[in-house]
Amino acid sequence: MADLDPIVIILATSGSKGNRILFRYPHETTKKNAVASRSNVGTNPYAVVPIDDLCAKVEETDSNKENETLLGSHNIVGFNFQNLGTLLAADTILCGKRFDVKIKDVRFVGYPLHLNNPNSKHVQTIQSFNVVIVLKACVDTTVVNYYQDLAKQITVAIRHEECRCNYLAQQAKAMQQVHDESPFSEVSECPYKMILRHSQLARELKYVYDSLCKNGIVHLYVNHWVMVNFCLPHRVHLNSLNNKALKPEAIDKCLESLRPYHGILLLVDCDTLLKSLPIDCSPTLVRLISCVNPTKNLQTLSLDADLSLSQVFRLVSHLVYWAKAMIIYPLCENNMYVLSPHTNPISNVHLVELFERDFPNESLPVVLSKYSLPIRMNEYRDALDTSQKQSQKCKLVVWMLQHQILIQLHTYIFLSVPTQKSKKKKLTDSLLSSTPLSQCLLGRSIPDVTIDENCVLERTQSSSDIASVNSDESVNLGIPHSTSSQLSKSPSLDILHLEDSTRDSLLKILTPEEYDAVTRLPAARNADDLKLFSKLCCYFNGKHHLEEIMYYEDLRRSQVVAILDKFRDILETCTHEDPVTSIYVR
C-alpha cells in the first residue's frame, strides 16, 4: 500500500520572476541509509583493504547514491529544487493538459493551468502554476490517472479563487517572502515549514497529502469556498483481511452487474454517514440512506424512498464507489454463508479487538467455527431462541459481512445429460447429504422483513411465503403472470403431441441428444412441467443462480425447486459465490 501513497506534493509557478517551487510537503524527505555513517570512526590510513571489502564498499556507495537520488534532502532524482522548478512549472503550451513526467524511479503528475485574470487590479506576476504530486514510477497507470484528476480539481479551484479574490497571488507573495527572509534568519528552520504558519494554501496542500496517506479520501474547501472531493478506489477499497487493493475495473464490473434483486449493506453507521454528507448533497441520497435495510432489495428501496430504480442504481453506485456500502444479496433465511478464505483472526489482531468491542460477550473464534462449513441462516438461527438472542445472531452476520469475513454461496444449475458409458450421479453428496432436493433448496425465505432497533428479523404483512425476491416486487419483463400454479398437474400427454412452441423452444437450446434425454423422463409427460422446464432451460448453464432465475422469471422458490426435483436425473447443482458480491474476496 505504500506504493499508492504520494511521495511529495509541490506547488510550482512560472511568471515574470522565473520558475519557482514555492512549497513542497513533506519538508524533509531524506531516507536513512541502511549502513550507519562511519565519519566519526577513526581509520588507519595504512590499512590494506581486502578485495571483497572493496567491492562491498563500492556496492554500498552505489546503493546509497540511489537512495539519495530517489528522495534527497535538497533534490529529487538528481535535480536540485531550483532546476526542478523549471521542469515542473510547465510552459504555456502544456497548460490545460495532463502532466506526466517519469525520471528513473520517480513520476511527476499534475495539471498545469494558465492564469488570465482580466478582473485583477494588480500586475500579474504569475502566468501559470502547477500542483505536482510525486509518485513512485512503479504505480499502476490507473493510479496515475486518478492523481491527475485530483491535481486538476485543485488547480481549477485555485484558479477560480484567483479570479475571484486574487487568492493565489496573495499566497504566493506570503510564500516568497518567507523564502527571501530565510537566508538571513537567525533560526535555522526549513523555509517550507515556516510557510505553513503564514500560508493557508500551504496548509491546504498539507491536508491533501495527509488525507491521501491516511485513507485515500480528500474533502477540502479551497479558501473556504470551492469544494474538492476525491476518492482513490485502490486505497478505500483495501481488503482488511488480505491487505490487497481492489482495481477500479473490478468495481466497475460489479456496478455494471447490479440488478434490482441485489441489496446494499452500509459499511459505516447510518447517522455517521448522514452527518458526513456535504450541505448541498442531493436530498434523494439522504432519503435512500434513511431507508437502507440489509433485508431489502433495490427495488423495494426504490418504493420506500419514492425514487425511480435508475436513481437508486446511481446512488448505490456512488455509495459503493466511495466505500460507504457494499453489494449483497438481501438477508433471508435461505441465504448460505461460509468463511472467507482470507479469514485468519490470529494474524488480524485489529479485527479481534473490533469484535470484542462490539460484542463483548461473544468469542470470535467460536462464532467463526459455526461457518467453517456452508450453513444457511435458518439452520444457524434456532426457533427456540429468545428475540434478543436472535437479534444478536443477525447482528453477528451483518458485522461479519461488513468486515468481509463471510461470503454468500448461491446455487447454480447445469444441464448434464448422461452418456452410455457413464451413469449420472443424482446430486452431489456435499450439497444434499442424502436429503431430498426440495428440502435442501426449498426453505422459508423472509424477503419482506424489517430489522427493528434490536435487529430482530420480523415479518411484515405478506400474502405468502415466497422467494427471496418477491414476485410482486420484480420488474415486468414482458412475462405474463399466471394466477394458477404453473406446476399444477395435467392429464398425461403423449410426447409426440407436444405443443409446437414447447418443442421449438427446446430445440433452440438443446442438442438432439439432450432433447431426447429430456423427453424420455417421466416428468416430461406433464405438459405444464415440460413447458416451464423449456422456459428455464436457458438458465441451466451454470451462469445464473437460483435467486436470479426466480427474479427474472417471476417465480417462487417452491416452483423452481419443484422443477429441479422432477428433472433431477439430467440436472446438476453446485454452490459458489456470486462474482458481483464477492469482489472483496477475490
Q: 130: helix, coil or strand?
A: strand
**The C-alpha cell of 435 is what?**
436429503
Quick check: is 100 in a domain?
yes
Q: 273: helix, coil or strand?
A: helix
Q: What is the pLDDT of residue 279?
A: 84
Same domain membership, residue 207 and residue 152: yes
pLDDT greater at residue 124 or residue 202: 202
pTM, to two decimals: 0.75
Quick check: is 50 in a domain?
no
Q: What is the pLDDT of residue 105?
A: 86
**Range picked from 37-51, 199-213, 380-394, 457-471 for highest mean pLDDT:** 199-213
Q: What is the pLDDT of residue 423?
A: 46
Quick check: is 510 in a domain?
yes
Same domain membership, residue 135 and residue 12: yes
Q: What is the pLDDT of residue 466?
A: 37
Q: What is the pLDDT of residue 79?
A: 62
Q: What is the pLDDT of residue 125?
A: 84
Same domain membership, residue 341 and residue 324: no
Q: What is the pLDDT of residue 493?
A: 37
Give the chain's mean pLDDT: 78
Domain termination residue (choose one: 387, 404, 421): 404
Express each pLDDT in 8-18 by its tens digit: 999 999 988 88
Per-residue pLDDT at 188 exceeds 80: no
Q: What is the pLDDT of residue 343?
A: 77
User: CA distances (Å), 146 to each of 44, 131, 274, 314, in order?
Assistant: 55, 14, 26, 21
Same domain membership, residue 173 and residue 109: yes
pLDDT greater at residue 241 or residue 523: 523
β-strands 336-339, 406-415 pairing = antiparallel
Q: What is the pLDDT of residue 242?
A: 52
Same domain membership, residue 264 and residue 206: no
Same domain membership, residue 201 and residue 115: yes
Residue 244 binned pLDDT confidence (cut-offs 50, 70, 90): low
Per-residue pLDDT at 42 exceeds 60: no
Same domain membership, residue 392 and residue 317: no
Q: What is the pLDDT of residue 453?
A: 43
- b vs e for 419-448, b when ≥16 Cβ sit within 10 Å of the residue's Cβ? eeeeeeeebeeebbeeeebeebbbbebbbb
Mean pLDDT of 88-106: 88
Least confident piece of the model among 47-51, 85-89, 246-250, 531-535? 47-51
Q: Is the peptide bond before 360 cis (omega within 30 degrees of 0)?
A: no
| Contacts with 246 (C-beta within 8 Å, 6 or more apart), sequence order | 233, 234, 237, 238, 239, 583, 584
Percent of the chain with pLDDT over 90: 41
Mean pLDDT of 355-381: 89
Quick check: is 314 in a domain?
yes
Same domain membership, residue 357 and residue 321: no
User: CA distances (Å), 312 to each of 297, 299, 309, 325, 517, in order?
Assistant: 11, 8, 5, 13, 44
Per-residue pLDDT at 357 exceeds 80: yes
Q: What is the pLDDT of residue 438?
A: 53
Quick check: is 449 in a domain?
no
Per-residue pLDDT at 63 exceeds 50: no
Least confident piece of the model among 189-193, 257-261, 310-314? 189-193
Same domain membership, residue 370 and residue 318: no
**The C-alpha cell of 417 is what?**
445429460
Of 259, 248, 247, the C-alpha closest to 310 is 259
Q: What is the pLDDT of residue 421?
A: 44
Is the distance from CB of 414 to CB of 572 less than 8 angstroms? yes
Mean pLDDT of 238-244: 59
**Range picked from 241-255, 318-332, 337-351, 460-474 for highest mean pLDDT:** 318-332
Same domain membership, residue 288 and residue 255: yes
Q: What is the pLDDT of residue 509?
A: 78
Least confident piece of the model among 242-256, 412-426, 547-561? 412-426
Exposure on the CB side of residue 128, measured as CA atoms within 13 A? 22
Per-residue pLDDT at 334 exceeds 60: yes
Quick check: is 445 in a domain?
no
Rg for the chain (alpha carbons), in Å? 32
Residue 190 binned pLDDT confidence (cut-offs 50, 70, 90): confident
Of 291, 394, 266, 386, the C-alpha closest to 333 is 394
Number of domains in the chain: 4
Q: What is the pLDDT of residue 469?
A: 37
Per-residue pLDDT at 58 exceeds 50: no
pLDDT greater at residue 403 or residue 478: 403
Q: What is the pLDDT of residue 435?
A: 47
Per-residue pLDDT at 462 exceeds 70: no
Mean pLDDT of 280-286: 92
Q: What is the pLDDT of residue 496?
A: 42
Q: What is the pLDDT of residue 1?
A: 57
Q: What is the pLDDT of residue 34?
A: 35
CA distance 502 to 95: 65
Per-residue pLDDT at 409 exceeds 80: yes
Per-residue pLDDT at 22 exceeds 90: yes
Per-residue pLDDT at 74 exceeds 50: no
Percent of the chain with pLDDT over 70: 72
SS3 labels along 339-360:
ECCCCCCCCCHHHHHHHHHHCC
Q: What single-letter amino acid sits at 131?
A: V
Express each pLDDT in 421-451 by its tens digit: 444 444 444 344 444 555 545 544 433 444 4
Domain termination residue (choose one: 261, 293, 328): 328
Mean pLDDT of 538-545: 91
Per-residue pLDDT at 262 exceeds 70: yes
CA distance 509 to 331: 34
Q: What is the pLDDT of residue 99?
A: 94
Place of cell 452410455: 420
- The boundaries of the domain holding residue 529 are 500-583
Quick check: is 421 in a domain?
no
Q: 470: helix, coil or strand?
A: coil
Mean pLDDT of 56-80: 49
DSSP run (H or E) holding 314: helix 309-321
Domain termination residue (choose one: 288, 311, 328): 328
Quick check: is 478 in a domain?
no
Q: What is the pLDDT of residue 44?
A: 56
Same domain membership, residue 376 and residue 304: no
Per-residue pLDDT at 181 exceeds 70: yes
Per-residue pLDDT at 156 exceeds 90: yes
Same domain membership, residue 263 and residue 303: yes
Least confident piece of the model among 73-87, 268-282, 405-419? 73-87
Express each pLDDT in 472-527 by its tens digit: 333 333 333 333 333 333 333 344 445 566 666 776 778 888 888 888 888 888 88
Cα-Cα-Cα-Cα dihedral sign, residues 184, 185, 186, 187: negative
